[in-house]
A = this chain, B = another copy of it.
Amino acid sequence: MKRKTKYVLLGLLRDESLTGYELKSAIDNRMSFFWQESYGQIYPELKMLLEDKMIDVLSDNNETKHDKVKYKITNRGLSVFNKWMNEENEKDTVRSEALLKFFLADSTNLDALTKHLEIYNKHSVDLLELYLQYERQLTGLVGVHDNHKYLLEILSLGIKQQELYSQWSREYLKKIKRNVL
């Protein structure tokens, strides 16, 4: 997949001005079920976006403070973002070592399978809680921002996905413990 970091940053900055650190947090906390970025991509990309006039530094009142820079999107950035929105998507890339092990497991690995299922279940439940929290936060502000409706739609997919994962792994564990498998 070609460089997409640009669009993630631009997309998030349409909504509110954020620092590089805050952008990373937003991606980790709200988008982790379908996307991730590292600082090694974010900071260099912000620099390039600034050079290309797609974002601007939001001048903070504090003088001589060079750290903590909030960025805002420019019209040029907006138009680049909108162009991307209309382009065709590249195909998804996914790699889940847990699911790989579940796929490759058999009766000779029952102990390992059980261990990984337990970890997977805990992780799914935790992520589910994180997204539910975000949902509550958004529904508490209904009407404030129009595009929350769209955010809630994709969030509901993330929630249902985590529900599926946690239920599936719980049931699988039950079967193993009952010696059904």
Decide: B103 and A97 in contact? CB cutoff 8 A. no
CA distance A165 to B94 in the complex (A): 15
A111-143 interface bits toward B, Cβ cutoff 8 Å, 1 = contact, 0 = none: 111011001000000000000000000000000
B-binding segment of A16-24, A48-56, A57-65, A151-159? A151-159
| Copies of this protein chain in the complex | 2
Check if A67 is an interface residue, CB within 8 A of chain B.
no
Across-interface contacts of A109 in B (CB, < 8 A): 82, 85
A80-111 interface bits toward B, Cβ cutoff 8 Å, 1 = contact, 0 = none: 00100110011011111111111111111101
Interface of A is mostly: helix
The count of residues in chain A whose C-beta lies closer than 8 Å to any C-beta of chain B is 59
Decide: A98 and B103 in contact? CB cutoff 8 A. no
Q: Nearest Cβ distance between residue A139 and chain B, in whole angstroms?
A: 15
Check if A4 is an interface residue, CB within 8 A of chain B.
yes
Q: A93-B95, A98-B92, A168-B157 are in contact. Are A11 and B104 (CB under 8 A)?
A: yes
Q: Nearest Cβ distance between residue A89 and chain B, in whole angstroms?
A: 4
Check if A160 is an interface residue, CB within 8 A of chain B.
yes
CA distance A118 to B128 in the complex (A): 27
Across-interface contacts of A153 in B (CB, < 8 A): 102, 172, 175, 181
Q: Which of B96, B107, B168 sits near A35, CB closer than 8 Å?
A: B96
Decide: B150 and A100 in contact? CB cutoff 8 A. no
By Cβ-Cβ distance, the 7 closest A-B pairs, closest first, are A106-B147, A11-B104, A34-B99, A89-B97, A34-B96, A92-B96, A102-B154
